[in-house]
């Protein structure tokens, strides 16, 4: 198995139809000991129980530094080390530029961008002590193409910020054998699009994608496993497009 003895944290991982849960499930199947972090209302402990394989679920708010630090301390207490962080937590909002309020901006950027920073800060001391680690940041195709199908410009800005932050961390921590990479999903058929797109609209979008379908959560999970595994030990600072060819550049 690709991830034997790997301890992996996945933020925003409790939604059963989401990218984080799919990633946690596949990583556990590949031998990882998994910690799912999410808000209390999402019930990360229940999600971990569904995965099995000794997975644990911890309550954490990625926008709160103390909460991130406490969650990481809990993982270290349970497993003794941290090898992988999947910065998956994020939210979106389908509004136009002139409709974005200050509160909207803060809310979207806090989860995707501040959360990526705080969680990375929380795990980096353990990774530095080990002189190894892999941080995977979930960005979005909307950061590359200047807007997505559902997210507003502030979502694109947050996800573009994730790309810049990850690249800078890759440069800073590469000499300590800590790799930092990004995944840019295209349109994925998770709960984030539920009720927002008709079946006809989904089919219409699929016709514009070279692989002729929307993405599945497992498509992103597979990319996360690759970036966490020994198969990618010479990859850092990369942006891995997982979009079916929606954006080719």
Give the active site residues.
155
Instruction: Find out whether 142 and 242 touch, Cβ atoms under 8 Å.
Output: no
Pairs from 188-194 (Cβ < 8 Å, separation ≥ 24): 188/19, 188/214, 188/215, 188/216, 188/217, 188/219, 188/220, 189/214, 189/215, 189/216, 189/217, 190/15, 190/17, 190/18, 190/19, 190/217, 191/15, 191/17, 191/18, 192/18, 192/92, 192/150, 193/150, 194/17
Cβ contact 170:237 at 8 Å: yes
Distance (Å, rounded) from C-alpha 43 to C-alpha 228?
25
Quick one: how far is CA 208 from the chain centroid?
A: 25
- In this structure, what are the phi and psi dihedrals at residue 18, rounded to the nearest 5 degrees? -95, 175
Radius of gyration in angstroms for the set of CA atoms belonging to the chain, rounded to a whole number:
17
């Amino acid at each position: 198995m690709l991830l034997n003895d790997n301890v992996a944290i996945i933020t925003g991982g409790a939604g059963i139809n989401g990218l984080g849960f799919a990633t946690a499930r596949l990583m556990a199947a590949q031998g990882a000991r998994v910690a799912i972090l999410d808000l209390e209302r999402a019930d990360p402990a229940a999600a971990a129980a569904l995965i099995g394989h000794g997975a644990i679920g911890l309550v954490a708010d990625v926008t709160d530094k103390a909460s991130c630090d406490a969650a990481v301390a809990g993982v270290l207490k349970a497993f003794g080390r941290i090898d992988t962080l999947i910065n998956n937590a994020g939210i979106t909002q389908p509004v136009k530029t002139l409709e974005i309020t200050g509160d909207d901006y803060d809310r979207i950027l806090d989860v995707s961008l501040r959360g990526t920073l705080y969680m990375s800060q929380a795990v980096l001391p353990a990774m530095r002590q080990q002189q190894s680690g892999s941080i995977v940041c979930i960005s979005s195709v909307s950061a590359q193409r200047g807007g997505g199908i559902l997210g507003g410009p502030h979502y694109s800005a947050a996800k573009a910020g994730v790309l810049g932050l990850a690249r800078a961390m890759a440069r800073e921590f590469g000499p300590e054998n800590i790799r930092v990479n990004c995944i840019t999903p295209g349109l994925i058929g998770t709960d984030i699009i539920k009720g927002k797109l008709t079946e006809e609209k989904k089919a219409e979008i699929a016709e514009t994608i070279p692989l002729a379908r929307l993405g599945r959560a497992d498509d992103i999970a597979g990319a996360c496993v690759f970036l966490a595994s020994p198969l990618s030990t010479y990859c850092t600072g990369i942006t891995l497009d997982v979009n079916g060819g929606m954006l080719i550049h």
